[in-house]
């Protein structure tokens, strides 16, 4: 029978990370572990217990499944310093949890003998897997669910990436509130984005014309908020011959962002490598896949892909307690 046990291991900073390891029967084991990495600030269970549902199905097929809480989240040690969710999400896209993921693979290899990994997870979990795959070849393929390509707004990013079209809308909002005492109080209290305000004022003082409609220029000419690390990590996997299966929800914006902010900008480079990744869109699904039928579609397609990628291997692995 498959088994489930609590695990704990240190990250590079010595913080203890806690998680759960699903282990298949030794005679069914394929010698591959699926890493279901935490989505954003959510823990190892996933929204609507998504990770538990996927783990139960994958372990029955002979895959080890490891899911754990990153440092500062859930049961793991550490604290978060960010006060804004957008800043937290952006730090995850920048590779915040690569060290934790590498530590998980090190522990898994030392404890069970499994050294082959599938990087996976919803949203932030997928981007953490992708960022880790760029520096650690033990992640042999990526099963991405709602893989984000675009950074969030907020103090760490918004003022830098705001487009002229967005600036025009913000400008009208700011100047409509110039006589509102509450707005002045917000300004004095430090809750406003001073960099954005400065850009608005500068454009007005210099007489720069702000567009009232979206610019018609090529997207390449526009400053956008695409994660600057995304293309490098994605292309690194493709150039090394590693495959990717990407799931996107039909009612989510992430598929369009992937196509417009990544594929269209790198069409020539992707032309010879396009066969290495597949995209599956689940119609009408929301970002967190809250409907059981959406989860079933995700799991069924993922299972077929993984089984084809990893044929049956009857390999015995150690199962020592840490």
| DSSP secondary structure letters along 175-186 | HHTTT-HHHHHH
Q: Do 245 and 278 form a contact (C-beta atoms < 8 A)?
A: yes
Q: Are residues 127 and 265 in the same domain?
A: yes
CATH code, 294: 3.40.50.1820
Residues 6+ away with beta carbon under 8 Å from 145? 120, 121, 122, 123, 125, 126, 247, 289, 298
Q: How far apart are CA 106 and CA 78, in angstroms?
A: 20
Domain containing 195: what range?
158-221
Residues 6+ away with beta carbon under 8 Å from 19? 6, 7, 8, 44, 66, 67, 68, 69, 104
Q: Are residues 276 and 246 in the same domain?
A: yes
Q: Are residues 266 and 297 in the same domain?
A: yes
CA atoms 217, 222, 224, 227: torsion sign: positive
Tokens of 269: 């480079």
- Among 7, 48, 5, 23, CA closest to 145: 48
- DSSP-assigned beta bridge partners for residue 278: 245
How many structural domains is the chain composed of? Answer: 2
Q: Which of 221, 240, 260 is the last residue of a domain?
A: 221
Within-domain flag for 321: no
Q: Phi and psi for 247 in degrees, rounded to 5?
A: -105, 135
Residues 6+ away with beta carbon under 8 Å from 22? 2, 3, 4, 55, 56, 58, 59, 64, 65, 66
In three-state secondary structure terms, 294 is helix
Within-domain flag for 320: no
Q: Are residues 40 and 149 in the same domain?
A: yes
Q: Are residues 188 and 149 in the same domain?
A: no
CA atoms 18, 117, 275, 226: torsion sign: positive
Per-residue pLDDT of the chain (322 residues; tens, 9 = 90+): 789 999 999 999 999 999 999 999 998 999 999 999 999 888 898 888 999 999 999 999 999 999 999 999 999 999 988 888 888 898 999 999 999 999 999 999 999 999 999 999 999 999 999 999 999 999 999 999 999 999 876 544 545 545 454 456 556 666 666 677 776 666 566 555 555 565 656 666 665 544 433 334 444 434 467 898 999 999 999 999 999 999 999 999 999 999 998 999 999 999 999 999 999 999 999 999 999 999 999 999 999 999 999 987 654 444 443 3
Q: Which of 171, 197, 221 is the last residue of a domain?
A: 221
Q: Are residues 27 and 137 in the same domain?
A: yes
- Among 214, 215, 225, CA closest to 262: 225
């Amino acid at each position: 029978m498959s088994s489930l046990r609590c695990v704990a291991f240190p990250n590079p900073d010595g913080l203890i990370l806690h998680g759960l390891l699903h282990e298949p029967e030794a005679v069914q084991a394929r010698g591959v572990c699926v890493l279901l990495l935490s989505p954003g600030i959510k823990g190892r269970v996933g929204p609507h217990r998504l990770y538990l549902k996927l783990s139960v199905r994958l372990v029955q097929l002979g895959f080890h499944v490891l899911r754990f809480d990153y440092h500062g989240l859930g049961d793991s040690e550490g604290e978060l310093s960010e006060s804004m969710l957008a800043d937290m999400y952006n730090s995850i896209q920048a590779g915040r949890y690569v060290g934790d993921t590498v530590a998980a693979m090190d522990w898994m290899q030392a404890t069970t003998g499994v050294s082959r990994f599938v990087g996976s997870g919803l949203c932030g979990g997928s981007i953490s897997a992708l960022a880790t795959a760029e520096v650690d070849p033990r992640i042999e393929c990526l099963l991405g669910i709602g893989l984000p390509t675009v950074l969030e707004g907020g103090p760490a990013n918004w003022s830098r990436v705001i487009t002229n079209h967005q600036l025009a809308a913000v400008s009208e909002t700011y100047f409509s509130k110039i006589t509102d005492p509450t707005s002045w109080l917000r300004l004095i209290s430090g809750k406003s984005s001073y960099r954005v305000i400065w850009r608005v004022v500068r454009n007005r003082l210099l007489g720069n014309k702000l567009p009232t409609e979206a610019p018609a220029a090529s997207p390449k000419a526009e400053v956008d908020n695409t994660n600057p690390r995304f293309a490098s990590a994605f292309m690194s996997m493709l150039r090394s011959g590693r495959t990717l299966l990407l799931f996107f929800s039909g009612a989510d914006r992430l598929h369009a962002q992937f196509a417009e902010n990544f594929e269209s900008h790198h069409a020539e480079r992707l032309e010879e490598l396009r066969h290495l990744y597949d995209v599956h869109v689940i119609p009408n699904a929301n970002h967190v896949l809250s409907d059981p039928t959406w989860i079933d579609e995700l799991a069924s397609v993922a299972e077929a892909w993984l089984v084809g990628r990893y044929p049956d291997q009857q390999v015995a692995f150690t199962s020592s307690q840490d």
